[in-house]
Amino acid sequence: MGVYIHIPFCERVCPYCDFAVVGVRRLDPAREDRYAAGLLRELALRRSAFAGRRLASLYLGGGTPSLCRPETIARLVAAVREAFAADGPVETTLEVNPSTVERQRLPDFARAGVNRVSLGVQSFDDGVLRRLGRAHRASEARTTLRACRDSGFDALAVDLIFAAPGQSRALLARDLDEALEFAPEHLSTYELSVEAGTPFATAASRGQLALPEEDEAVAQCEQIVQRLEAAGYERYELSNHARPGFQAVHNRRYWERRPVLGLGAGAFSTDPVTSETPFGVRRSNLRAPEAYLARVETDRSAEAAPPEILAAATARGEALFLALRTRRGVDSAAFEAEFGRPPRGFFGAEIELLVGQGLLQERVSGDLSLSARGCLLADSVFAHFVGSSGACGD
């Protein structure tokens, strides 16, 4: 199993962000302590659903979890390790933003049990960072990257954004070159998306947000893959690249549909399968921290709605599109073992169409993966499976 802990506090909420976050100029210690206590209460309430599971990964995300004091992070890590036994090393990731306060805490985070840091650089160009509404500047990112390397973590992950306002291929090339100078074990590259309800969505609706054309975004995506593959990174998932042996243990859980216990405001969980729920149960917490705390402080469920018991049809579609996100693709035999038929037994017409269009590759075994062109048009491929029960649907 994996555990995800959501810390919703940010010094600044980026205009493209639709995560469950709240802006705080400074994280008050009393507020931090109350929220951490709420996380521990929720852990106590939810741990029985994962009884007997071995801990493989712990991910502290947000928001900006590195705004918390190292002793808070240490308390959370220790509580999770106490609640769930592990068979070996546990990948323990902390999301960090480039800032002086967080940078000074890095050695203490390492001592708190964090062995992997994920740094939200996004770009090394100050103009791009300003247009993205980021609080840091490129010089701070460089300084923080050097500090991460000096603090004894097992792995460094770097996040970059492409197809941002005013971002050319030349600027992206410089971003990639600068990131590679620090030899991170892992690189995530995300195309900027405009999510409903965000300031960027409002600006776009008014014609005030100039994003690259689709052809330019595709060209930047191809540029990233070529540059990182040449530098020895494997694109093991559409947005994720890693040096050998450093694929993200926690992130892979989502694409492989494995159990994750989500704690905190806005967190999502996927419970283990049971005989009554053979395809699992999905849960989502209230997004507002105060509403979340009001529930867990009185030992009540923090869920925002009744849990979703996954039906076979939903699980089949998700199994296909999530596996297709990965380099490995869909294992036909494993799919048949779970659902009773291979992918073509449910999605024959869709697979035939997509193979014919050169978007899917099908091996003799029935295994499926995206073609190079399919990777560029992945969303249109996934649309054939999401929300479709297949020809032999239940």
How do the domains of the chain map onto residue ranges? Answer: 2-253, 315-382
Q: What CATH code is assigned to 2-253?
A: 3.20.20.70
SS3 of 263, please? strand
Alpha helices in the chain (DSSP H): 29-46, 70-83, 100-111, 126-132, 138-150, 169-181, 199-205, 214-230, 249-255, 289-296, 312-324, 332-339, 344-356, 372-376, 378-382
Confidence of residue 392 (pLDDT cuts 50, 70, 90): very low
Strands laid side by side in the 155-162 sheet: 234-237, 240-242, 186-191, 155-162, 116-122, 91-96, 57-62, 2-7, 260-263, 268-271, 281-284, 308-309
pTM of the model as a whole: 0.95
What is the per-residue pLDDT across 237-266, written as a single tens digit (0 to 9) for each?
A: 999 999 999 999 999 999 999 999 999 999
261 alpha-carbon distance from chain centroid: 14
Quote the tokens at residue 53. Answer: 């599971």
Is the separation of the CB atoms in 6 and 63 below 8 Å? Answer: yes
Structural tokens at position 133: 């509404």
**Nearest to 365, CA basis, from 341, 337, 333:** 333
pLDDT (tens digit per residue) in 275-332: 999 999 999 999 999 999 999 999 999 999 999 999 999 999 999 999 999 999 999 9
Whether pLDDT at 389 is above 60 = no
Average pLDDT, the chain: 95
For residue 388, what pLDDT band results from cuts at 50, 70 and 90? low
Is residue 355 packed enough to be buried (19+ CB in 10 Å), middle (13-18) or exposed (0-12)?
Answer: middle
Q: What's the CATH fold of domain 315-382?
A: Arc Repressor Mutant, subunit A (1.10.10)
pLDDT digits (tens, 9 = 90+) for 65-92: 999 999 999 999 999 999 999 999 999 9
The pLDDT assigned to 100 comes to 73
